[in-house]
Structure 1
């Protein structure tokens, strides 16, 4: 018996484990693979994610991190540069490969006191007579806990085993990415192209180590092959950038992006969902790491509070507040993001938004702050306050 079992050692699982172990709880992390391991991702971390990394005690001045100063939006022959906004969040973003980042975060959790079992594939939940999750099974072994955190990714077999399947009305994205040796590796702006395909975007993120992370993402409804799309998009790029087959350092790899709280509820008796398992990717931007880290912190705070309570009824009521906390934090932004994703499925809308949005830099900056939840609610500028209010007062679902 342990206090908490965390299934999955991605950013959500490792962050939750780190917070929980620091609070004095006995935490077991079960990870089906072994480190280091690959994960398909853009590798770009916004100031929201940096804020959570700092809260975890991660030293972002160590070698291996590359700082970014903002975004560059490109499309319809125009470009707009958007610096990361001023406010309580750090004034910089970061890039780092997920191969490095995930191992760094899980080692941080172990350093805090969590126990890690690698190569431990969870085969199903353990239930008591009341149907409450009381642990999980791995091959030939039972692991019991007072509560379980499912952070086992987009497929989340643990969630599926409990009947929690993705909601049909939520957007699902797909992405493909590849690393290239490139002269643009030290560009400190995360570059996003808005016109490689309707209902999608492309990205070029400098890693600061001689390579760039380059990829495309689109809604699954676009019915395009991401891997082929990536090649077609890069063909006309300037040769001097080096985004060519001979400069590729990895194969093209793809992944699903579960968006907009696509799996609910985020709590069933004995189990909380965090990260991709709960569909915590922003539908408008495709960003997932910041929301995974924030959900991990909220889950840890909920668990820490609940397990201190003296009765089972009090603990259960405390656990049940977790989904509401998530929706308060991200529900409005995800609702706006789903509306945005639905709108850009129409190619005419996407072209219109790209052409007119990028010709009006102030409008583009405002849209990024709203859809990327980067506005400062108490900022000095009226657009920041308005952008924050739009997210805050949009109904969550």
Structure 2
């Protein structure tokens, strides 16, 4: 029987697979897509995220990652800019996820692509290619829900978010204005993030409440028109060239920690399956990688899923609660106006907020100190 069956080949799944295989465990990873693909993601690697990648032996800048050291916040006519308390990196999931999967395969992981997970029932997983059984099941399917025999899935939020992602080729002027900067534009019921990634591309990731999306018009062209109509934050769109035939989209995004599991639930839930932080903090990729390290450590110590959940909450709960508090403030028009006023008076508060919503740093266990 396989030591670990990992469902999903994103950041959390790929990293956990590589860590466990390099430590001598037999690992089987199932990925629904047949090849490299784009995913809804801000593609912002915070300092914690690229430190985790370095621990995996991955040099993100060698893959083309773009340094980012400033943040620009736009709300209506107001624009506030400040230094980040670290140098972040912009790198697409199209590149990074595949690098992790290649590393996992090189470490001995069995990778099945083009296989859909139909249901998880304890240590047995029903797939489009038959049942798979393992000593430990790690659920790392990101934002995609999976049917489980022990879990009743309900929306955590009565008005969840809808997400969009598009890559663009910017005009020379817009590219120069965005250089080294992550730009966050606040909208009624949501926000948009724009930054450079590898290959001279800009990544736009936009989320908006489902109710607001319905009022706007329920299509991508209306969302682009809304962004372009803003007094600031959307002027670059007029000369931008979209690089996908259509945007990557997803619905029913509910942020915060995942619902509590029964104490005897044997499934390890990684990445967004364990909890989704507010996107505007840019720590989602770091959280996914952190969950992989915690899960691998627990499995190598002979610990079960309940111990993993406890350790995961201890290491990530504070970041997620702070991030969600910030998001709730920005969703309230009066509080948002007050907050923007404070930031205009003291732009350095942006730097402090970026620092306050980081994951705590940690030292990896010795067996996770991999060379490239």
Q: Given the two structures, how large is their TM-score scaled by the length of structure 1? A: 0.79
Stretch moving more, 277-286 or 331-340: 277-286
Instruction: Find the counterpart in structure 2 of residue 366 from structure 1.
Output: 352
User: CA deviation digits over 1:125-179, x for unaligned, max 9?
Assistant: 34xxxxxx22312235222211000011223314x44314246369843322222
- Indicate yes or no: 2:151 matched with 1:163: yes
Q: Spell out the pairing of 1:342-381 with structure 2 (5 A cutoff).
A: 342-370=328-356, 372-373=357-358
Q: Spell out the pairing of 1:297-312 with structure 2 (5 A cutoff).
A: 297-306=293-302
User: CA deviation digits over 1:246-295, x for unaligned, max 9?
Assistant: 62222233224442113333975331101122233236636421111101
Contact 2:80/2:343 (8 A) holds in 1:
no
Stretch moving more, 27-36 or 340-349: 340-349
Contact 1:75/1:358 (8 A) holds in 2:
no
Task: Tell me, in whole angstroms, the C-alpha distance in 2 between the residues paired with 1:236 and 1:48.
Answer: 33
Contact 2:193/2:280 (8 A) holds in 1:
no
Q: Spell out the pairing of 1:284-363 with structure 2 (5 A cutoff).
A: 285=281, 287-306=283-302, 315=303, 318-363=304-349
Q: Given the two structures, how large is their TM-score scaled by the length of structure 2? A: 0.84
Contact 2:82/2:348 (8 A) holds in 1:
no
Task: Tell me, in whole angstroms, the C-alpha distance in 2 between the residues paired with 1:180 and 1:237.
Answer: 20
Q: Spell out the pairing of 1:134-283 with structure 2 (5 A cutoff).
A: 134-158=123-147, 160-166=148-154, 168=156, 172-182=160-170, 183=172, 184-185=174-175, 187-194=179-186, 197-220=187-210, 222=212, 225=216, 227=220, 228-235=222-229, 242-244=236-238, 247-250=241-244, 251-256=246-251, 257-265=253-261, 268-282=264-278
Q: 1:63 to 1:368 in 2, by over 3 A?
A: closer
Q: Spell out the pairing of 1:104-119 with structure 2 (5 A cutoff).
A: 104-119=99-114
Unaligned 5+ runs, structure 1: 86-90, 127-132, 307-314, 378-397
- Quote the offset at 1:376 in angstroms: 7.8
Q: 1:258 to 1:53 in 2, by over 3 A?
A: farther
Q: 1:77 to 1:169 in 2, by over 3 A?
A: closer
Contact 1:4/1:26 (8 A) holds in 2:
yes
Contact 1:15/1:296 (8 A) holds in 2:
yes
Stretch moving more, 218-227 or 346-355: 218-227
Q: 1:13 to 1:375 in 2, by over 3 A?
A: closer
Q: 1:236 to 1:341 in 2, by over 3 A?
A: closer
Contact 2:157/2:254 (8 A) holds in 1:
no
Q: Spell out the pairing of 1:56-95 with structure 2 (5 A cutoff).
A: 56-85=56-85, 91-95=86-90
What is the root-mean-square deviation in Å for CA atoms of aligned residues?
A: 2.9
Instruction: Find the counterpart in structure 2 of residue 122 from structure 1.
Output: 117
Contact 1:284/1:338 (8 A) holds in 2:
no
Q: 1:172 to 1:240 in 2, by over 3 A?
A: closer
Unaligned 5+ runs, structure 2: 363-372
Instruction: Give the secondary structure class of the aligned counterpart of 1:300.
Output: helix
Instruction: Give the secondary structure class of the aligned counterpart of 1:147.
Output: strand
Instruction: Give the secondary structure class of the aligned counterpart of 1:125.
Output: strand
User: CA deviation digits over 1:285-342, x for unaligned, max 9?
Assistant: 3642111110111111111111xxxxxxxx5xx4322112111112122223333333
Instruction: Give the secondary structure class of the aligned counterpart of 1:218.
Output: strand
Instruction: Give the secondary structure class of the aligned counterpart of 2:301.
Output: helix
Instruction: Find the counterpart in structure 1 of residue 94 from structure 2.
Output: 99
User: CA deviation digits over 1:66-96, x for unaligned, max 9?
Assistant: 22223222335444433332xxxxx421112
Instruction: Find the counterpart in structure 2 of residue 129 from structure 1.
Output: none
Task: Tell me, in whole angstroms, the C-alpha distance in 2 between the residues paired with 1:266 and 1:103.
Answer: 34
Q: How many residues align?
A: 352
Task: Tell me, in whole angstroms, the C-alpha distance in 2 between the residues paired with 1:134 and 1:36.
Answer: 28
Q: 1:263 to 1:106 in 2, by over 3 A?
A: farther
